[in-house]
Amino acid sequence: MRAAAIIPAAGRGERMGAAIPKALTPLLGKPLLAWAVDALLESEAFSEVYVAVPAGKEDSFRGGLIEANPRVRFIAGGATRQESVANCLAEISAECDIVAVHDAARPLLTASICLDVLNRARETGAAIAAVPAKDTVKLCSEDGIVTDTPDRSRVWLVQTPQCFGRELLVSAHEKARAEGFVLATDDASLVERLGAPVSVVMGSYENIKVTTPEDLLVCEQILRKRRKEK
């Protein structure tokens, strides 16, 4: 079974509020995207890695960002994360029957979590990294009134990687697009719409998503700790 990885990296990073694209933001001197690519390559599980970048910026993302690696290809992303993933999905070669999707915004992925999720997806067809919620979660109406409090012991905060059988993920994207569902914030939600079961695998509280500037400070501390442990 050959596996491919997709890294959506074509977002603008509006919540970071910086002039450069979020995926190129330096973290201890290395861009977020490069941390994510390196973690996937380190797992040695992927024969192909597709990076969705802003259309027209393929060369500037490639240039100097990542050491030349024939397994890594840069693809023009779309206006939404969902479209960026779909554009990469269309390029994957026929021999790959399993696909991992991992956001460029999560630089602290370890090879071990990646392999755990991939292996579970090989068994079940669909698996995602997630961690149990520490905070109590409330659902609220648009005018800010609490409508429900889900039982915290059943609330998981979802991360990437998310891994799927290739045909399942392609069908999920096709169905969503046909139905006009275009703003998914993860791929599992598209697979759920097909009615297929998605397994949860323990991720890590360290596998954080960089969304706003203070997330970078946390990443730096975690990386310094990891360096000391080596």
- The answer for residues whose C-beta is within 8 angstroms of residue 60's C-beta and 6 or more apart is none
Give the rounded distance of the alpha carbon of 61 from its chain centre: 18
Judged by beta carbon, residue 102 or residue 125, the one nearer ligand CTP is 102
User: Nearest approach, Cβ of 11 to Mg ion (angstroms)?
Assistant: 5
- Both tokens assigned to 111: 């090879």
Chosen from Mg ion, ligand CTP, none, partner binding at 14 (C-beta under 5 to 8 Å by type): ligand CTP
User: Nearest approach, Cβ of 149 to ligand CTP (angstroms)?
Assistant: 26
Angle at Cα 16 formed by Cα 13 and Cα 20, nearest 5°?
60
Q: Which residue is nearest to ligand CTP (CB)?
A: 11
How far apart CA 199 and CA 194 sit, in angstroms, is: 14
**Residues 59-66: contacts with CB under 8 Å, at least 24 apart:** 61/9, 61/23, 61/24, 61/33, 65/24, 65/31, 65/33, 65/34, 66/33, 66/34, 66/37
Chosen from Mg ion, ligand CTP, none, partner binding at 23 (C-beta under 5 to 8 Å by type): ligand CTP
Judged by beta carbon, residue 119 or residue 211, the one nearer ligand CTP is 211
Q: Which residues bind ligand CTP (CB under 6 A)?
A: 8-15, 22-23, 52, 77-81, 84, 103-105, 209, 211
Provide the 3-class DSSP secondary structure of residue 139: strand
First to last CA, the chain: 32
User: Nearest approach, Cβ of 75 to ligand CTP (angstroms)?
Assistant: 10
Chosen from ligand CTP, Mg ion, none, partner binding at 45 (C-beta under 5 to 8 Å by type): none
Chosen from Mg ion, ligand CTP, none, partner binding at 201 (C-beta under 5 to 8 Å by type): none
User: Nearest approach, Cβ of 19 to ligand CTP (angstroms)?
Assistant: 13
Interface characters, 1-30, with Mg ion (x: CB under 5 A)? ----------x-------------------
Judged by beta carbon, residue 15 or residue 224, the one nearer ligand CTP is 15
Q: 176 with 165: CB under 8 angstroms? A: no
User: Nearest approach, Cβ of 81 to Mg ion (angstroms)?
Assistant: 6
How far apart CA 15 and CA 222 sit, in angstroms, is: 22
